[in-house]
């Protein structure tokens, strides 16, 4: 299936997806990939589907959505492999722009050191860059890149792209159960240089390529959030698999508390203020802590509350 959706997306609203790469041709073989193991490791750009076919499939989906009264906020390249491997990307973008809907792409950043890839990405309205590590050994361990790739060139390419890009730029960092040492601080420093509109912190929420891969501790996630926020003025969010609407107020203080802390950790005083406005007391927090739905963390002498990872929740 080349076009699918529209589906709800925290980052993109209502997104109509484009699968422009067959399963699973990629430049990485990430430990945590929810699509599974990479079948063909490639770094040379080539043609996959005819641009006319992609345009036809997407146009059909847009017409169906409009007929059903469904909104589409973005048309998004989010395939079963690395989208920038598609040498016809520029032509596809040119054709899709005639539909009048903003275009987004989620890339693993591996080919952004190439000028032709950056030129193609400049044509998008929204670009998400993967940034799992900035140190070579950890990058090779987590993302398992094609042997010809250079992390230094990729990071330089990301900075060059960010400098010239006029659209919305975000990053996504997937955290897993490995020893990060001082890596999180190094990633934070790089993000401070890159200056994305927002940096997302993700954890595996679906079966990964390697069965031993799990989310890291909540303490690791929280530390990443705080370090990234210090460099980006708070422009950081979690993507930890909360299944509900993280932006809606439900009128139920428990649900509101879990909803907010799935996206941002809340300081104790903010939690108390939320409870006060809802006419609720601290028993709500204690019950959620007891039930394993909420956890308590400390950072620089302050107490924070975060929604527990679904995979770590008590049965």
Q: Is 300's pLDDT higher than 70?
A: no
> Where is pLDDT greater, at 107 or 313?
107
Question: What mean pLDDT is predicted for residues 171-184?
Answer: 95
- Are 213 and 162 in contact by the 8 Å Cβ rule? The answer is no
Q: Is 249's pLDDT higher than 60?
A: no
Residue 274's pLDDT band (cuts 50, 70, 90): confident
pLDDT at 250: 55
Residue 1's pLDDT band (cuts 50, 70, 90): confident
Q: Is 168's pLDDT higher than 90?
A: yes
Count helices and strands in the chain by DSSP H and E runs: 10, 13
Residue 314's pLDDT band (cuts 50, 70, 90): very low
pLDDT at 153: 98
- Mean pLDDT across the chain, nearest whole number? 89
Alpha-carbon span 267 to 284, nearest angstrom: 15
Phi, psi of 128 (to 5 degrees): -110, 125
pLDDT at 310: 59
pLDDT at 54: 96
Q: Under CATH, domain 3-241 is a member of which superfamily?
A: Aldolase class I (3.20.20.70)
- Residues in the chain, total: 315
Residue 241's pLDDT band (cuts 50, 70, 90): low
- Are 10 and 262 in contact by the 8 Å Cβ rule? The answer is no
Alpha-carbon span 240 to 172, nearest angstrom: 12
> Where is pLDDT greater, at 282 or 40?
282
> Where is pLDDT greater, at 314 or 251?
251
Alpha-carbon span 310 to 200, nearest angstrom: 18
- Are 132 and 91 in contact by the 8 Å Cβ rule? The answer is no
């Amino acid at each position: 299936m080349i076009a699918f959706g529209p589906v709800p997306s925290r980052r993109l609203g209502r997104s109509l997806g484009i699968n422009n790469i067959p399963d699973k041709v990629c430049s990485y073989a990430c430990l945590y990939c929810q699509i599974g193991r990479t079948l063909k490791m490639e770094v040379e750009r080539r043609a996959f589907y005819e641009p006319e076919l992609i345009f036809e499939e997407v146009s059909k989906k847009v017409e169906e959505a409009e007929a059903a009264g469904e909104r589409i906020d973005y048309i998004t390249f989010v395939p079963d492999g690395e989208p920038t491997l598609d040498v016809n990307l520029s032509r596809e973008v040119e054709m899709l722009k005639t539909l009048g809907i903003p275009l987004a792409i989620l890339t693993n950043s591996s080919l952004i050191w190439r000028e032709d890839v950056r030129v193609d990405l400049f044509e998008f309205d929204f670009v998400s860059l993967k940034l799992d590590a900035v140190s070579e050994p950890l990058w090779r361990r987590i993302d398992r890149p094609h042997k010809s790739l250079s992390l230094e060139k990729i990071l330089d390419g990301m900075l060059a792209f960010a400098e010239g890009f006029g659209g919305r730029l975000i990053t996504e960092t997937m955290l897993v159960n490995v020893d990060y040492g001082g890596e999180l601080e190094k990633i934070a420093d790089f993000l401070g240089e890159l200056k994305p509109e927002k940096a997302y912190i993700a954890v595996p929420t679906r079966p990964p390529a390697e069965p031993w891969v799990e989310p890291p501790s909540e303490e690791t996630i929280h530390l990443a959030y705080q370090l990234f926020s210090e460099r980006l003025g708070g422009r950081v969010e979690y993507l930890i698999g909360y299944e509900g609407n993280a932006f809606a107020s439900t009128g139920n203080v428990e649900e509101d508390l879990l909803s907010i802390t799935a996206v941002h950790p809340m300081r104790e005083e903010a939690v108390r203020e939320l409870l006060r406005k809802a006419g609720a007391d601290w028993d709500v927090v204690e019950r959620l802590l007891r039930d394993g739905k909420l956890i308590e963390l400390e950072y620089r002498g302050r107490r924070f509350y975060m929604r527990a990872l679904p995979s770590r929740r008590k049965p």
